[in-house]
Structure 1
């Protein structure tokens, strides 16, 4: 379930009033168990302050009597990094990270695959303490998973403090004028379509910065390396679209050129990849950088355009 905040409020109070919770205590429990995210970041503090325009999402597990259980399904998830506290998987396109509103009955999610990995390694699985952040359904790449509640809390603090470095690769329509630049444009919920974000005609604009560097280009298509300085919903997609260079395969923020190129190149999914993730592991307190190889479909487009592949 998902809501957009219209007035500043405490997270637990908001859910008790708007979120189909039976009581404030139950709302607090759902938050503390990791079922609630704000602007795609898991929040476990009931007193977290919401601002106008924030997107609050509650996973379906919060309304289930068996919230901590999930059927293990072997989704053949690629594990890119693992230690005693966490692991990083290479998320494929087309799979939601967790069950949510609008999904079909029995639809598989990344959580089902994570449950399988936990079962395989004889780890205690609890859906409340594994997800630290989210990726959109069609976005691929690095997804960090905690192995236990202590690791989950430690990693979540890093995301809240913005010490985790997230680098994406994006194929965009058109070639940006500048080789590198930082887009500094506040983002808010669209005033005309509440499922979209915008930088104009939006409510409750919040600061957002995306740095990009052009690392390849050919035939009206550019390959960009993008670093998020903030973590707003759809930030890269909105920012790149705002400067006239939408991500290919993005039906929500497209323009005429991106739609034509998406058709000409037979692109079937969003060309946005969570390429690198740098974080401090709770296991050894050292920084680790994990790189996710590009999906075959993404690499095939680069080859078709004769854009050199990126270094690992």
Structure 2
């Protein structure tokens, strides 16, 4: 997956192993749970690029829990851009009002399954497919880079 998250992620590469389960109060949400109270979950991430108040990540999930990437990255304090469920309270960390407005108008999470791989069930051949970022995510990324460059000047 590709994910754009709020904040500068450190360390730049890591493993998130926190169990995930239903939120005890908001039952439609998932959350990181204490050991023994959720299902094991493993998420690997690597920072590709830091862009102003954002980090672009390469994310790989080793388990398939509901909302796993969004919950794990929120637990790190770096919610996925555009995630109004798990990250809206942290949108204020984005200092640029133009980018905050663009996040609100994005209409989706900045989370994209750009690569899918599996073995063919009959031949056993490894197959891999890639998908470029959708236009709206590419446009947001370009705006973030432009604003980061202009504010650094």
**TM-score for both structures, normalised by structure 1:** 0.42
Query: How many residues of Structure 1 are paired with residues of Structure 2 in the alignment?
Result: 140
Maintained 8 Å contact 1:215/1:223:
yes
On the 8 A contact 2:2/2:59 being kept in 1, the answer is yes
Relative contact order: is structure 1 or structure 2 higher (C-alpha 8 Å, sep ≥ 6)? Answer: 2
Query: Which residue does the alignment assign to 1:280?
Result: 119
**Mapping 1:1-312, distance limit 5 Å:** 168-200=1-33, 204-258=37-91, 261=94, 263-265=100-102, 266-306=105-145
TM-score (norm 2): 0.83
- Cα deviation code 1:97-119 (max 9, x no counterpart): xxxxxxxxxxxxxxxxxxxxxxx
Q: Alpha-carbon deviation of 1:243?
A: 0.6
Structure 1 residue ranges without an equivalent (≥5) = 1-167, 308-312
Alignment root-mean-square deviation, CA: 2.1
* Cα distance change on mapping 1:228 and 1:245 into 2, 3 Å: same
Give the SS at the match of 1:205: coil
Which whole-Å deviations, capped at 9, do the CAs of 1:65-85 have from their partners, x for residues lacking one? Answer: xxxxxxxxxxxxxxxxxxxxx
Does the C-alpha gap of structure 1 residues 259 and 201 become closer, same or farther in structure 2, counting only changes over 3 Å?
A: farther
Structure 1 runs (4+) greater than 6 angstroms displaced: none
| Cα contact 2:45–2:57 (8 A) shared by 1 | yes
Once residues 292 and 171 of structure 1 are traced to their aligned partners in structure 2, the CA distance between those partners, rounded to angstroms, is 16
Name the CA distance, whole Å, in 2 between partners of 1:288 and 1:254: 34
Gaps spanning 5+ residues in structure 2: where? 147-153
Structure 1 residue 217 displacement after superposition? 1.4
Give how far 1:201 is off.
7.2
The separation in 1 between residues aligned to 2:128 and 2:72, in whole angstroms, is 25
Moved more, 237-246 or 257-266: 257-266
**Aligned-pair CA distance for 1:186:** 0.5
